[in-house]
Structure 1
Amino acid sequence: MSNVPIRIAILDDHLIVLEGINRLLDGSPTYSIVASFTLAQDLLDFLKHNKVDIILLDISLPDISGIDLCLQIKQAYPNISVIALSNHSERSIILRMLENGASGYLLKNIDLQDLKSALNEAVAGRPAFSPSVQDIISRPTLSETMSFPKLTKREKEILQLIAQGNTTTAIADKLFLSPLTIETHRKRIMHKFQARNMTALIKTVTEHDLI
């Protein structure tokens, strides 16, 4: 570990979280909180002129999704390690943050030792997870272990149009097909997925990027 403190910026719209982390790391020779923000734009403006090693980033922010912001930061500053600090424990959200370049993910119930350990892991270029997050990402959900039926190009096209709110008649007009043909496709797709209704089916295929 270098003698130069690890420069940390924090973005969280809850002042109590900002104050808490500042107090936890106050006086540490290893870590230096260089700035704390409640708005994403303020952080982005700060990064233009200041050196930061690690950003502790909340996901639920008032002006942008932390997931989208993570990708934006990594594209502009690939050498900065972004660690999510969140109350969201859903596996899908954790994985989306990692896909967008996050170096780790911490739940806000961590203690000081977990926080320091995660910061050290990130600086060393290793994934930084709190113990509870490690457990979550190691266990795939039931839906992730399921295999889904394959959709034809036409079925995907029709499902996309349904998801956009088009009626059977409107879809038939767009695709130059008869309404009866569209309804036949609808029924075949519903049967493939054993779906209770079209709303549930659209939710499933959208969540799993099947269309």
Structure 2
Amino acid sequence: MATDRSGGAGVASPAAIRVVIADDHEVVLRGLSLTIAGEPDMRLLGAATNGTEVIALVAATQPDVVLLDIHMPNTDGIVAAATLRKAHPQLIILMLSSYSDDARIYAALRAGANGYLLKEMSGDALLAAIRAAARGEPQLHPKIAQRLMQRVMPPTDPLAQLSPREREVLRWIAHGFSNKEIAAATNLTEQTVKSYVREILSKLDVV
């Protein structure tokens, strides 16, 4: 189900974020297509219904960002993510799933995904996540970040290894703040916040 749509009134910005999407549910694909294609700073390059299709589509179109469902026929999203990461090191890979269990999240991130989002999020939140990911910011749905935050409290918890500043950054993430907003709230540079996020994910062994 390949397509190529420019955002806005048919003219994409010169710096438009090029996006490919993959999901085996047509209703989801249509919704994502309409959401992304309506943005002047984004360009939808195509849509796939399984992992095999999306691997070929990414190779043909060279997008900046790909949104992957986890459960798809032929090749699932996690295998597709690992294949895409190996073939396209600079590609931003975002998982978009209905599942929020630790096993799938960790598997996706270890496969090379730059973020894990949930389908329950609003269209505006999804667009914001795509833009943030394109800027190099790792993305975790706030619900997932909140669950990780709950593990910080017990002294035997793995998150005890986080520094006070890293815990503070994780708290902001759990409340849905972007890296830019966290930087403003903590008097840090946005680049420093990005470094903290990467360090948090590394210490949690999910990258």
- Alignment of 1:22 onto 2:37: no
Asked if the contact 2:20–2:58 (Cα under 8 Å) also holds between the matched residues in 1, the reply is no
> Quick one: distance in 2 between partners of 1:50 and 1:92?
31
Report the CA distance shift for 1:145/1:57 in structure 2 as closer, same or farther (over 3 A). same
Asked if the contact 1:91–1:137 (Cα under 8 Å) also holds between the matched residues in 2, the reply is no
- Whose radius of gyration is greater, 1 or 2? 1
> Quick one: distance in 1 between partners of 2:64 and 2:108?
18
Determine the structure 2 residue equivalent to 1:184. none
Superposition map of 1:1-211 within 5 A:
3-140=14-151, 145=157
Asked if the contact 2:55–2:83 (Cα under 8 Å) also holds between the matched residues in 1, the reply is no
Asked if the contact 1:114–1:130 (Cα under 8 Å) also holds between the matched residues in 2, the reply is no
Normalised to the residue count of structure 2, the TM-score between the two structures is 0.64
Q: Unaligned stretches of 5+ in structure 2?
A: 1-12, 159-207
Deviations 1:74-108 (A, max 9, x none): 00001111000001110221122111111111110
- Misfit runs of 4+, over 4 Å: none
> Quick one: distance in 2 between partners of 1:31 and 1:139?
35
TM-superposed CA distance for 1:32, in Å, is 1.3
Report the CA distance shift for 1:49/1:24 in structure 2 as closer, same or farther (over 3 A). closer
Q: Unaligned stretches of 5+ in structure 1?
A: 147-211
Higher relative contact order (CA 8 A, sep 6+): 2
> Quick one: distance in 2 between partners of 1:77 and 1:136?
31
Aligned positions, number: 144
Deviations 1:116-160 (A, max 9, x none): 121122111111122222223334499x959xxxxxxxxxxxxxx
Residue type of the partner of 1:120?
R
Residue type of the partner of 2:40?
P
Residue type of the partner of 1:82?
I
Aligned-CA RMSD value: 2.2
Instruction: Give the 3-state SS of the residue equivalent to 1:73 in structure 2.
Output: helix
> Quick one: distance in 2 between partners of 1:35 and 1:59?
18
Asked if the contact 1:10–1:36 (Cα under 8 Å) also holds between the matched residues in 2, the reply is yes
